[in-house]
Each structure stands twice: as structure tokens, then as C-alpha cells.
Structure 1
Amino acid sequence: MSRSVLSKRVLALAWSTIRGRKGGFVAAFVAVLCGSAVITACGILLESSERSGVPPERYQAADLVVGAPQALPMADDVDPRFGERATLPADRVGEIARVPGVRAAIADVTVPVSLVTADAEVLAGPDGIPTLGHGWHSAALGPFTTSAGRAPTGPNDVVLDSALAERAGVTVGASVRLAVGSDTSTYRVVGIAGLPGGRLVRQSAVFFTDDRAWELTGQPDRVDAIGVLAGPGVSADELASAIEAAVADVVVYAHRERSEAEFLDIGSTRSFISELSLAFGGSMVLVIMIVVASTLALSVRQRLRELALLRAIGATPKQVLGMIAAETMVVGTLGAVLGVIPGIGLSLLLREAFVLAGAVPADFELSISPLPALGAVVLCLVGARLGGWIAARRAARLKPVDALGEAAVEPPKLGWVRLTVSVLLVPAGLTMAFVLPLVLPGEGAAESAAFSAFLLIFAVALLGPRLLGGAVTVLSPWLNRRPGVSGFLATANAHANSRRLAAATTPLIMGITLAAGQLFSGTTASTAAQDQAADGLRADYTVTSTSAGVSPEVADVLRGVSGVSAVTPVVRTRTLAVFGPEASFQVRTYAAQGVIGDRLVETMDLAVLDGDVANLRGNTVALSRIAADTLGATLGDTVDLRLGDGTPIRPTVVARYERGLGLGDVTLPHEVVLEHTTDRLDYAVLIAAAAGTDVGALGDALRSAVHHLPTVQVNDRSSFIAAQSAAAAGESATGLILNAVLLGYLAIAVVNTLVMSTAARFREFALLQLVGATRRQVFAMMRSETRVMVVAAVLIGSLAATPSLIGTSIALTRTPIPSVPPLVYLGIVAVAALLGSAAIMIPTRMAMRSQAVVAIGVRE
């Protein structure tokens, strides 16, 4: 018989089996379908990180936009982005203008400004972002044209974009107060400008004269970007190649990518989505394969009698494996292909959720093409094929007589390979949770502890029958105390069918473990950050801004207030730390702050472990314990850092401290950080009262000192701590969204397998009734069995998550007690109980609708 004919017969047999046993394959179909949806959504996000964006606004008339590199190149990974705008030397404008084919090269600089209304209200741009000031020469890149008035010619002249002028209620000839940082000046509106295609959507613009704009930036020798106008007949792509070849250390943006030079958040969003989709998608592929394999194992287990009969009439193990493989591929293909459509919907829901969390701009659109769908189908088919092979391998090798025996009574022992692997996984997981966090440096400790949960989940999946058998023995006397038939039957069934129960319960255990591990790791980190921020702030007052930030000069004003002991300006940014061998270096992104080390201990307590933060001046740095251990740095060592705008420095470590989660992992001298931020403004100013000073009177004096600065406000220390907590909550929102997707998939898997497992027992229910059990007793038996299964799943899942949480807490806070909110844990238990009970009792009622004498004769 030819191979093609045999393949056709195997497929025909597989299809007839699927048609005859639809119920047994529905669970596998649903598992693959949902998995395909999740992978498709991750694929769409990944593709969008490369191809999507927003259209340019102020640069829409420029053929090209040239900027400085905004990311650190990585050979085999996502390029980490710089947190601040990287600028170019002003002489790059002349270099670009001399490239053949360039008609004009126009420099653009930006300065954050706020319009202060007559009633002292600070009017920002759309969605509260700062309004940006520019030189009038760059208006040609729009091109902006004045619809009223003229161009600015004097240092006190400004032109407003039409939308901003309308919101402020001003016209040509009016006077407006503009705050640059904390300093407010009065300007005369000499013109209203607009774009030919409509208004600005993502920003508000104020145009000064070029000299005035450069003066306000404080960096007359730097430019933010350079817009390029091409000569007649010169294509943008050809000109981009010519500029890249002629000018060093620049990035040329063309077409839709021009907006990435205009809006920093677009590049950051792309990097964020790329890292997120790769990391989360990879984890989900692993989880999906486990769930699909578990579901298929249960399906094969329910068909042992049928497979034994096939072996008895002459089918070889290879043929049985081929049939199951064909069934798996048919079901897997249908599920994977149909899962693409809900996957597209899921990607749209994820985008909306990220927008609500503030992680993605509202106008960032997804890019949807066939490529993510194709990738999802391929991955799901590979997963289904592998899961089907694992599930069918043992069944195909069984002798017909042994298979018939297993169909009636499960074998009492596990295979030696399975038992050996599972026994080895337990100490491996415990070692990664308890030992490695004490040995590994820095972030490796927390990563090791987190991964231990997956090892223990694998061990639980392999040891499932033994664990559930033991749980039934221990829990049944406690949960089924009433004497009677139902409790006896529930305990006997659980012992006799521990493999079936293990396959059905594994997704529930996995869901509880991952839910507890992911959620409580987050609460442990966020609680530690909040506690460290509260314990580390010693200042009596904090001065902040209602606009882009606080001008550095404000700190000097506050130092002159009577009763002030110490004033610490704080500037915030993010730094990149580079470490490891040059050929395979690694990069970590850390929250950083710039402070003045002198008298810092009066306003901020970093909980210094060794060294002295008073030495924080010049080319020095203080690192948190976690960052220092990750980088392998000790006192006196130099570390390789990239400041917010990408400027490389190699400062010497002068101190190590504990409170990095709450106050930032990297602390640098104030002037070093300030000069390399986009706005060159302070985040806040911390003020400590002198001994014996009336704190309330000091607050009044501080407010009086900054009364002439409408964007500056004086707050007590609680507001600063609340702002820190809000920032931490915003960062954790993304993790909660992803956890919701993961747990949602596991919830579907739990219901899926439990329904399939319960629905397949209709003949068992019929037999019990025929031998004398009443319907009430059968329902009571299933309720007793459900109690044991749910409680066992909660206990096993909680125990599997506990080592990971303890290890994470040790790594982050050096204490073995994680933060576990009781209500959240009770919520996990309640959801597990609800899913388990509904997924068992509802199909039980459906299976018992038919009369017992009819159901016992129905084909399985």
C-alpha cells in the first residue's frame, strides 16, 4: 500500500473518530483556539512595534527628519531606549545642508512652556502634556502659516497655534503670560498660525524668534532635530542614504517614521510593546503547550478502551500513534485557524487596556497583517502535535489486554521516568526559590525565585496522581464527615481515578499557582517600594510643579527662607547600565535620581549600607544593593552608565544603599543628571526644617516665597509619598493586564478540562443508579468529590507558589515574608471554587438528564 493511500486512510479514520466523539475533542479544540487567540494577539502587538505609529504633525512638510540615536544598539535583542531626548550638535545643520540633494536643512529646538491665564490657571497642551516652544524658522517644517498677524520679530513676540489660542481665548495683540520652567514672563501675541491640513492634535505649539527659543533652551549649541527639505526630483530614500553616509552619529527618519523623531513616546511605545509581546508571548506559548498536552492526555485517557480494541484487531503502535497524530492535527488546525479571529479582537482589547493604563498613547494604532496569524497557527500546531504525541505515546505502546485493564481500573504506579523527573524537579525548584536568592547577585535572585514556580508546576503536573491520592486520603475525612454512601463513593472514585482527576485538576492548580505567584510578587515589590519611599523621606515639605517641572533656581530661593535647614533638589530620569563581557554585554534599565549629596541625610534616608552619600559629587554614583549586586560593583569600582539622553559616563561607586525600590536604584550628582534631561527641570525640591522651627509657620513662609511663581506649589510630605505610590501603581497596571489574560486563559482551560472529565462519566452515573444509588446520592457524591478537588487544588497550588514568593521577598527586601493581601488571596480561592464547582456540577446535571437504563447503553 502506498504512503499516500495510507495517509488518506489514517486521516479518514481520524475524521470519523472526531465526528463520532465530538465531545471528547471539543476540549482540545477550545484549548487550541484560545491559545491561538492569545498568540495571535501577541504577534499583532509585536508587528505593531515595528510598523505602527502616528502621522507626523509639525514635521509633515519635511521630507526627512534627522535626529540623534535614541537607543543603545543591541545585536540580538530589543534596543533599549533612552529616557530623555538625545540632541545633536548645532554644526550638524551645516553638514546636512551640504549633502547633495538637500534643498534646506532646518534646525528645531523645543522648550516646555505653560500658558498662565488671567486667573492664574496653568493651561497645558492636549491631555495635560506641556506646550512646546520652538523657533519660528522651524515653522516651515509644518508648514505653519499665519492665519492672522505676522511672524515674531522681537524677543517678547510669540505666535500661538490656532487650537491653543482658541483654548486660551486670546487673539492677535493680546498679552499672555508664559511660564518656562518656573519663571513667568509676559509676551505679546503677534500671530496665530495653523497647518494646511488641520490643527495640531498631539501637542500645542508656541513660536518665538529663533534667538529667543535657543536662549530659553539653555543649550545654544544643541538642536533637538533637523528637518530636511529635498531638492527637486530627489527621492526621500535616496537622500536618507546619502545623509547617513555623509554625516556621522545620526538617525534619519523618513515617511511615517518622522513622527518618532517628533514624539519621543512613539519610540518608547514601540520598544515597550516589543519587549512585552516577546516576553509575554514566549511565556504564554509554554503555558498553552502544557494546557493542550494536559487536555489531550485526558482525552486519550478516556479512549483507552477504544485504542485497546484497535490494537486487538491488528493495529500497530505506529498506526495508533499516526491516527492520534492525525486527529490532533485536524482538531489543532481547526482551532488554530479559527482562533485567529478572536485573537485580533483580543489585541484590540489589549491596546485599549494599555491606553487606559497610560502605557500606550491613545492614537497608537495596531498593524494587522497575515503574518501574526500564520505564526500563531504554526506554533499552535507544533504545540498540539507535541502534546498529542506525549499523550498518545504510552497508550500506543500498551498491550491490548493491559489497555483494556487500564480503561477499567487505573494502574497504581507512575512510570519510572515520570516519577524520576518529577522527584528531581521538586528539589530543583526549592533550590531556585530558597538557595539561589541567597547566592545569586542582584536581579538574578528574583528571577531565579520567579522561575522556581514553573519548575514546581511541572513537578505537580507529573506527580498529580500521587498528590491527589494523598490529598484525598488526608482531606476526605475532614471534608466529608457525614457518614453515608456519597462520601464513600467520592473517596473511592477519587482513589480509583487519580490519573483522570490529576489531568482535570492540573490547570486549576496551575492557575492558582501562577495567580498567587504573579499577583503577590507584584504586591511584594509595590509594598516594599511604598514602604521604602515613606521611610526614606525625611523632608518636612516638598515643592513641586503643576507644569513640566521646577526650575533649578527655585532651590536657591527656598534656601533663603528663615527656618530652613536643608534643601535638596531632586531630578528624575532613567539610566542604562551596561555590564558583562564586551562581546556579549548586558543592559539593565534603572530608575535614577540626581541629588546634592551635601546634607542629603536631612531630607532623604537611602538606608546606606556602606560608603557615604556626602561624597556624591563630580564623577561618582551611589547604587542600590540590587543594582550594585547585578552589576557586580563594590565601593571604589567604576560602572558603565548611559544617562537619560544616552551620554556615556563611568562614575565611581561611593555608596551602596537599600531603598532602591522606593527611591531609585541609581543616585547621581544633581548637576550631572539635570544637564542630560529633556526639560532640564527638577522633579521636586525637598525641604527640611531646622531644629526648633515651627513646621506650620515654615510652610506659610515657603508659600510666601514662591507666591510669584504660579506653577510652583508647596506640599507636605504625604503628597510626595502618594505621588510615588501612584507612579508605582501605574507601572504595575501593565502587569495586571497581562496577568488577567494569562489567568483568563487558565480559567477557560480549567472549565474546559473539568467539563470534559465530568461529562464523560455519564455511563458511570447511570450504572450507580442502576445498582441502587439515588439521583440525590449521585449529586452528593459529586459535591463531595468537588470539595476535595477544589480544596486539594487550592492547597497544592498555594504550596507550589509559596517558595517562589518567599524567594522573591528575600531577593527584593531581604526578608522571607512576602506581601499577601488577604482579600486578594480569598478572591483567588473564591474564583477557583466557583470555576471548579460550576465546571463539575453543571455537566453532572446535564449528564443525568437521561434515564439510567437509556444512558447505560449509549456509546461512549
Structure 2
Amino acid sequence: MIPLIRRLVRIVVPLPRDLKLAWSTIKGNKGSFGGSFFAIVAGSTVITACGILLQSGLGNGVTPERYSGAAVVLGAPQSFWLDESSEVRYSERVTLPADKVAAVAAVPGVQSAVGDVNVQVSVLNPDGDAVSGPDDFPVLGHGWSAAALAPFTVSKGHAPAGPGEVVLDGDLAERGDVVLDATVQIVVGSIPSSYRVVGIAAAPDGLDRQSAVFFSDDHAITLAGRPDRVDAIGVLAAPGVAPEQLAGRIKDAVPDVVVHTGAGRGDVEFLDVGDARSLVVETAASFGGTMVLIVVFVVASTLALSVRQRRRELALLRAIGATPKQIHWMINAEMTLVSFAGALGGAIPGMLLAFVMRGVFVVAGAMPRDFQMQVGVLPILAALVLCMISARLSGWLVARRVAKVSPVEALGDAAIEPKKLGRVRLIIGVLLIPLGLLLTLGNVASPGDSAADTAASAVLLFVVALGCLGPLLLNGALPLFGRLVNRRSTASGFLAQANARANRRRLSAATTPLAMGVTLAAVQVFGASTAITGAQHQLEDGLRADHALTSSSGAGISPQVVDAVRRVPGVAVVTPVARMRVLLRFPSEDSTATKVFAAQGVTPEGLSETMNLAVFHGDTAGLQGETVALSRVVADTVHAKVGAAIELHLGDGTTIKPRVVAVYENGLGFGDVTLPNDLVVAHTTAQVDSAVLIRSTDGTDQKALEAALRGAVQRYPTVQLGDREALLAAPGAGGAGDWVLNLLFQTVLLGYLAIAVVNTLVMATAARVREFAMLQLIGASRDQVRKIMNGEARIVVFAALLFGALATIPPLIGFSLGLTQSPTPSISIIGVIAIVAFTVALSWGAIAMATRFAMRPAPIDAIGGRE
């Protein structure tokens, strides 16, 4: 056992003499190891950035404001847990039964328990304009008893005692030019009401993320519309009772509540913080996992190239008596030093990249501006471990060939490139291609949403297949396109083709990562354009309303507005639209799957007059009570047909089992799940509609109708009237910032691949010093050598674009079929030109720069040097 442990330690931790020898070989091969070092630095940068985002999502939050004086804050479970480590956040606030307040107050150590409700309001200044919170954060109304949780103190006046009285926080009163005893207009939903300002209050540390308006407790409950529910419960501890101790007691005594202390109290107060935390963890973990695979592959490929460039040196070591173990130990030590230095070198750039990514999250609206980043040592250690493992593994794989052959064969192998690919590599590459085709085009995946997701994910199979079969594909394609890019009648064209055939592994090392970048860029760009174009077409073709009502304050539209508009002469159909995200649970193979979909709530009366959902099974006229209409994508995903019941979790966590009454096609444009309007409104946080669609009767004077509609909504100051074009330009239900985040991650991924491509091209070209010197000594001019390299660059570019296009076509077709039932994805000419131009600039620039560098020494000096 002890000898085995010693051997493992020797493999993992090189001896000092091995490291000393490795350092000497690194100094003698700076160009070769320099490329490997930069590949590891770039990989460590990306992994560190993802690790910092992940750590911040798990550990950080926002300091509570109105709950800063509470020892413990209780909320309802705001997430649906898929398993012990994976959750899906509900889109609306999940509330608690009001009787929980008394149960919490009875726990020993609780001084008092206060139930809090949040009502989004708009405060109008004397000019009738809405006054927003600080930095455009919301203005929220509460019952006065919740003021004790900060605690707020009244600096002027007194607490509200009746339904017509209100207390404003000091900053809000100053921004709104409101003074004590003044009458102020406050809009709840769309309904304005007059209140007398009886007090001005302030929190101990001020309010940075909100403005507060306090009503009497009874009136706040009335405005919230849920007399038997509270949003949260704040707990004040008895003297001498620690928050953590009290939290444990409450957790044991009161079931079905989530207990928060410390910074976690902010997650209950600010739902966007909890949403951001969940999103950051999910995206950083998902993207980080993908990047780890790409980094390992690229680092292994780069290191393999650097070791292959030293085949002559390694073969000589074998010829003079070095054993296979010694070769392995030497390369093992080299990889340890290079990967350790490279991983540490990527730490600081990784921190900077993490903050850049945070900025994009904020711009996309996926993270609040005050969400703090947590920079710790764990992400750096993770990047260090992953980079060192990938480097050590790649070094071991490359050293196997040199170490296992006899010394005499080693010298012979060093003279020319191996003609055959490894058997395992060849088998993996060959098997991945039909597997990818089956997943994208063969209906192996589940239909509906899973088909599109699987088709988009299958691109990784084609990317890995490119990496495995790159030399073989290049060798097979050269006879087909070689003459197209290089004329054999010229010396430079002939030599470029000859070099490509003789050194296809070296050329493939440059072509493969470039083709991977082309594939990933094309799938992401054209996959997104396919989804966006499909949604836009469905919306343009299906929207039949002439006018639409929206809220200027973002607080929504109250049902009273819908009733007022219906009474306007010339109005044929009025369709209120409420939106939320819902969770669908359905059987999937031997388990239960859960997916999130965008949902809308509408009224069935005259629905086809305002929006055309393209129903092909059932009828939306039956959309009443607990019923639902599903898009084709969702119906195929959950295997639901008209008349079947499905399990659905609404935005506030309420579980229902509605009956399917219709299946429609236009889910991309209008939402994949359509429910009765009253059902959706009752389970949204604000209990209001997002928009109201209006269709006029035939022959109505549109200008007169528009004037009448403006008159009908004039008494609702936050409601605005728009036409059909304004509604078409509004962001869809999928979230306006989704494409920004997708663009961020793809930019990081493609940026890393670009670095890898340039690095590989420079390494492969700069190592040909002796070859360029020999060409010049037998009569070639520098311009002729550059023409040869330009010919090789054309081969690299053409091959990368060809292989990238071939690997892109199946995923895009499968993605388009899954979403739109059309095999033709949306491909923009501008996108194609951008990808081609970037590919040409990247490869041509790197090869030209490396060629110039390799020809700096005089030919007579370079020919006697080392490779």
C-alpha cells in the first residue's frame, strides 16, 4: 500500500529535480511553451470570472432597509426546488397566511411579530407627474405597524389613523414637493385617490432601493386586496435573544415558512435580489461548466501542439536511453510549472472580467445595480485545479506515443507526422456525427420545447467531432477545394498545397478551433435570429387590435379601466392581457420534469378579434375557470391533448390542474400558455393587467374613436393609449434582457476561442523558422515565402468556414423545426458577412504576424538553429 501511495504522490507532485529539469527545457523552448502559457491564462481568466459570479450568487445579497431593525424576517418559499441543489424562482411574490403572524408571536423569545404587505403605488406631485423612488426604484405602500421594523420615526406630524391619511418618507416628500397637511394624489394600480399627509417619517439609515408610503393597517390590507395574506413577517427579538437562536425556534414551531437573518433578510424585502441571486448561480454554473469543457479541450490541444513540436527532442532523449517513465515525468513537471503559472496569471484578469460581466447583467436588468460581488480565493483555486488537471492530462496523452515506442522508432517517427489518427479518437469522432444528426433531425429527442433545446445543444457534439476528426477531414477536403483557393500553376500555390497535405495535423491544429468558433457563433447568432424572427412574424400576423392601453408607471392597469373602455361607442372587443411565468410539471421517461413558460391571461369573448393564436385543436371560447390553452411546442413537450389535465404552478406558487381546451401555433409571439384573465390577475403580485387590447367596429372613424378613448382614460393618470405599432415594438413576454445575457456569454466564449485560434496559429507558424530559412537559402525571396503562407492561410480560412458551416446546418435546421415547424432558419446576410470577416481577419492576421516573426533571423543563422 505504501509503495502505491508513493507512486501516486510522485505522479501528482513532481520531485524538485524533475521541476529543475522541466524549468531548463521550458527556458529552451520559450516559443512553444509561451503559447501554452497564454492559452492557460485565458482559460483561467474565464473560469475565475464564472467562479466569482457563482460565489457572489451563493453568498451575497443586498442589505435590508425597512427590515433592518428586525432580528428575523419570515417569507414564503419563493422557489420551486427541482432537487436539493436546483431551484426555479416563482415570478410573483408568494404570500403567507395572515394567521402565521399570531403563531410566530407566540414563540418564546419573540417580542413582537408584524405582518407586512407591499402595495406598489404612484405618488403624483402638484403638477400631476408621478414621483419615482430613488434611482427609479419603486414606491411601495405599507401598513403603519410595519414601520417598527426599520424602525421609522415620525419627524413631523403623527401616524395615519384612518383610510384618508398617509405618512411619506422624507426623501419622497422632498422629491414630490409635498409638505405636511397637504393633499396628495396616490395611484394604486390605475385608480387615483386623495390623501392628507399627516406625517413625515425617516428610516435610521435612509432608503436607497425604494420609497415608502404608510397607510393605516386596515387600509393597507384593503389596498393589497388579500385580507387573509401577508407578504412577510418581521420579528423583533426579546432582549438578550440572539437572531440565530430565535430563527431556530421559529423554524421548529412554525411550519411552511422560510426564515432569514442577516443579509438574507434583504431577499424577502427585495424580490429582485433573490431573483438575481438565483439567475447568477444558474447561469454562472451552466456557462462555467460549458467553458470548463471548452477550456480543457483548447488547453489540451495547445499543449499537445507544443509537445508535438518537440518530437525530435523527445525522440533523441529516447534514443540516448531515457525510459518511458522519465519522459512522462519530465513532461508532467513541465505541464505542472506552465499550468500553475498560467492559472495564477489569469486570476486578476478573471476578477476584472467578472465585474465586466456583472455590469452587463445590470444593463440587461437581470441584476440590481447594488448587488455586491464577492471576490474570494475559491474561484482562483478552482481555476488553478482545473487548468492544471487539463494540462497534466493533455501532456500525458501526448507523451504516450513518444514514450511507448522503441528508441530507434522514435527517431524515425520524429522525421514525419503520424499518418493515422489514434483509434479511440477516430471512433469517438465518427460516432458523434450520427449521434448529433439523430438528436437534431431524427426525432430522437422529446418533441416540442425539448426538440429545439436538444438541437441547439447538439452543436457541442459536432464541435467535439470536429476536434477529433480535424486532420482526417482536412486531408479529405484538400483535393476538393485545394485548387479553388490555390493555383497549382504557381510555385506558392503548389507549395502551400504540398505543405498542407504533408503537415495536415499542424494545419488542423489551427483549423479546428477556428471551425469550432465559426460553428458556435453561427448557431448562437442564427438560432437567436430564428427565434426572434419567428416570434415577430407570429405577433405581426396575429395581432388584430387597433389600439392598446399600457401603464406609464409600470404598475399595470386596473380592471375598472377595462370596464370604462368597453362602454366607449365604436369599441367592438376589449381584451385585457395579464402576464406571468408559470411552471409545468409533466412525466418524462421514469421521472417528472419541470419547465418554465411565459403565460398570458385573456378573456375568451371575441379573442380572435384582437389576437389570432392560430388554434388548430379545440376552441379558446371554453377558456373559463381552471382551463388552459397551450402552444404546440408546450403541448408536444408535456404530451397533452385537448381534454387532458396538466399540473401547473402559477406565478405565486399556487398549484392547479387545469383542463386543456385548445392547442395553438403562435406561442412564440403571444406566450406558450394562455389562461383565463381573472385566474392570472388573482395570482399576480399587483393583481392588475399588463395591457388592454381594443378592436373597433367596422366603419368606425378612428380619429373620433381615439379621442373618445383618451377621454375615457383621462381620469386614470398612469394609463396611456397607443396604437398597434407601439405594441409590436414592445418587448415580448420572454424578457427583454435575455438576449443581452446570451450575447454576453457568447462573446466571452467566442473571445476565448479567438484567443485560442490566434495562439495556435502563431505557435504553429512561428515554429517553422528552419523551414522558412531553407526556402530562402534555395532561392525563395521573402515575398515568395509570404505568398506560400498566404496560400496556407486561404486553406485554413476556407476549411474552417466549410467545416463550421457543415457542423452548423443540422442544429439550425433542428432548432427551426422545433420552434416554427419550418426547416429554414433565419440567416441574415450581415451575420454571415460578420462571421466570415472575423474569421478571415483572425487567421490571416495571426499567420502574417507569426510569419514575419519567424523570418526575422538571417537564413544562414536560422538554418542551424533548433525547431
TM-score (norm: length of structure 2): 0.96
Matched, 1:755 2:762: yes
Matched, 1:478 2:484: yes
Report the equivalent of 2:496. Answer: 490
Offset from partner CA, 1:811-840 (integer Å, 9 cap, x none): 111101111221122111111111101111
Report the equivalent of 2:543. Answer: 537
Matched, 1:808 2:841: no
Find the aligned partners of 1:521 and 1:62 in 2 and give their Cα distance. Answer: 48
Offset from partner CA, 1:56-82 (integer Å, 9 cap, x none): 001111111111111112324421111
The residue type paired with residue 285 of structure 2 is L
Matched, 1:44 2:52: yes
Secondary structure of the residue that 1:772 maps to in structure 2?
coil
Offset from partner CA, 1:215-272 (integer Å, 9 cap, x none): 1111122111111000011111111111111112111111111111100001101110
Which stretch has the larger CA shift, 563-572 or 726-735?
726-735
Matched, 1:280 2:287: yes
Find the aligned partners of 1:580 and 1:324 in 2 and give their Cα distance. Answer: 51
Q: Assess, with a 3 A threshold, how the Cα gap between structure 1 residues 420 and 14 changes in structure 2: closer, same or farther.
A: same
Q: Could you tell me which of 776, 785, 799 is aligned with 2:806?
A: 799
Which stretch has the larger CA shift, 569-578 or 74-83?
74-83
Mind listing any 5+ residue stretches in structure 2 that lack a counterpart?
none
Report the equivalent of 1:394. Answer: 401
Number of matched pairs: 858
C-alpha deviation, 1:6, in angstroms: 8.9
Find the aligned partners of 2:613 and 2:103 in 1 and give their Cα distance. Answer: 47
Which stretch has the larger CA shift, 165-174 or 721-730?
721-730
Report the equivalent of 2:150. Answer: 142
Find the aligned partners of 2:379 and 2:680 in 1 and give their Cα distance. Answer: 41
Query: CA-atom RMSD, angstroms?
Result: 1.9
C-alpha deviation, 1:727, in angstroms: 6.3
Report the equivalent of 1:731. Answer: 738
Find the aligned partners of 2:563 and 2:619 in 1 and give their Cα distance. Answer: 24
Secondary structure of the residue that 1:687 maps to in structure 2?
strand
Report the equivalent of 2:473. Answer: 467
The residue type paired with residue 421 of structure 2 is L
**Maintained 8 Å contact 1:422/1:463:** yes
The residue type paired with residue 344 of structure 2 is V
C-alpha deviation, 1:768, in angstroms: 0.5
Offset from partner CA, 1:1-43 (integer Å, 9 cap, x none): 9977994443332222112111111111111121111111111
Report the equivalent of 1:192. Answer: 200
In the TM superposition, what are the counterparts of 1:299-698 in structure 2 within 5 Å? 299-436=306-443, 440-481=446-487, 483-547=489-553, 548-580=555-587, 584-698=591-705
C-alpha deviation, 1:616, in angstroms: 0.7
Find the aligned partners of 1:601 and 1:668 in 2 and give their Cα distance. Answer: 15
**Maintained 8 Å contact 1:530/1:725:** no
Which stretch has the larger CA shift, 147-156 or 36-45?
147-156
Percent pairwise identity:
55
Q: Assess, with a 3 A threshold, how the Cα gap between structure 1 residues 306 and 529 changes in structure 2: closer, same or farther.
A: same
**Maintained 8 Å contact 1:538/1:688:** yes
Find the aligned partners of 1:403 and 1:826 in 2 and give their Cα distance. Answer: 46
Find the aligned partners of 2:479 and 2:413 in 1 and give their Cα distance. Answer: 22
Secondary structure of the residue that 1:544 maps to in structure 2?
strand
Report the equivalent of 2:175. Answer: 167
C-alpha deviation, 1:134, in angstroms: 0.8
Secondary structure of the residue that 2:721 maps to in structure 1?
strand
Report the equivalent of 2:123. Answer: 115
Secondary structure of the residue that 2:575 maps to in structure 1?
strand
Find the aligned partners of 1:710 and 1:703 in 2 and give their Cα distance. Answer: 11
Find the aligned partners of 1:624 and 1:725 in 2 and give their Cα distance. Answer: 16
Report the equivalent of 1:295. Answer: 302
C-alpha deviation, 1:466, in angstroms: 2.4
**Maintained 8 Å contact 2:319/2:410:** no
Mind listing any 5+ residue stretches in structure 1 that lack a counterpart?
none
The residue type paired with residue 375 of structure 2 is I
Find the aligned partners of 2:556 and 2:517 in 1 and give their Cα distance. Answer: 44
C-alpha deviation, 1:742, in angstroms: 0.3
Q: Assess, with a 3 A threshold, how the Cα gap between structure 1 residues 76 and 215 changes in structure 2: closer, same or farther.
A: closer
**Maintained 8 Å contact 1:512/1:798:** yes
The residue type paired with residue 511 of structure 2 is T
The residue type paired with residue 435 of structure 1 is G
Secondary structure of the residue that 2:842 maps to in structure 1?
helix
In the TM superposition, what are the counterparts of 1:21-170 in structure 2 within 5 Å? 21-170=29-178
Find the aligned partners of 1:376 and 1:590 in 2 and give their Cα distance. Answer: 35
C-alpha deviation, 1:726, in angstroms: 9.4
The residue type paired with residue 103 of structure 2 is E
**Maintained 8 Å contact 1:762/1:848:** yes
Find the aligned partners of 2:270 and 2:138 in 1 and give their Cα distance. Answer: 13
Find the aligned partners of 1:45 and 1:536 in 2 and give their Cα distance. Answer: 40
**Maintained 8 Å contact 2:125/2:177:** no
Secondary structure of the residue that 1:654 maps to in structure 2?
strand
Q: Assess, with a 3 A threshold, how the Cα gap between structure 1 residues 715 and 759 changes in structure 2: closer, same or farther.
A: same
Report the equivalent of 2:27. Answer: 19
Offset from partner CA, 1:434-482 (integer Å, 9 cap, x none): 1137x62222211221232122122222221222223333333222238
Q: Assess, with a 3 A threshold, how the Cα gap between structure 1 residues 415 and 107 changes in structure 2: closer, same or farther.
A: closer
Q: Could you tell me which of 848, 852, 866 is aligned with 1:859?
A: 866
Matched, 1:271 2:278: yes
Report the equivalent of 1:239. Answer: 246
C-alpha deviation, 1:337, in angstroms: 2.2
C-alpha deviation, 1:487, in angstroms: 1.3
TM-score (norm: length of structure 1): 0.97
Secondary structure of the residue that 1:436 maps to in structure 2?
coil
Find the aligned partners of 2:281 and 2:734 in 1 and give their Cα distance. Answer: 22
Which stretch has the larger CA shift, 143-152 or 359-368?
143-152
Secondary structure of the residue that 2:825 maps to in structure 1?
coil
C-alpha deviation, 1:584, in angstroms: 4.5
**Maintained 8 Å contact 2:14/2:332:** no
Which stretch has the larger CA shift, 370-379 or 555-564?
370-379
Which stretch has the larger CA shift, 76-85 or 582-591?
582-591
The residue type paired with residue 455 of structure 1 is L
Q: Assess, with a 3 A threshold, how the Cα gap between structure 1 residues 729 and 238 changes in structure 2: closer, same or farther.
A: closer
Find the aligned partners of 1:755 and 1:108 in 2 and give their Cα distance. Answer: 63
Find the aligned partners of 1:762 and 1:636 in 2 and give their Cα distance. Answer: 74
Find the aligned partners of 2:582 and 2:439 in 1 and give their Cα distance. Answer: 29
Report the equivalent of 1:178. Answer: 186
The residue type paired with residue 40 of structure 2 is V
Which stretch has the larger CA shift, 404-413 or 564-573?
404-413
C-alpha deviation, 1:139, in angstroms: 0.7
The residue type paired with residue 153 of structure 1 is A
Find the aligned partners of 2:266 and 2:446 in 1 and give their Cα distance. Answer: 42
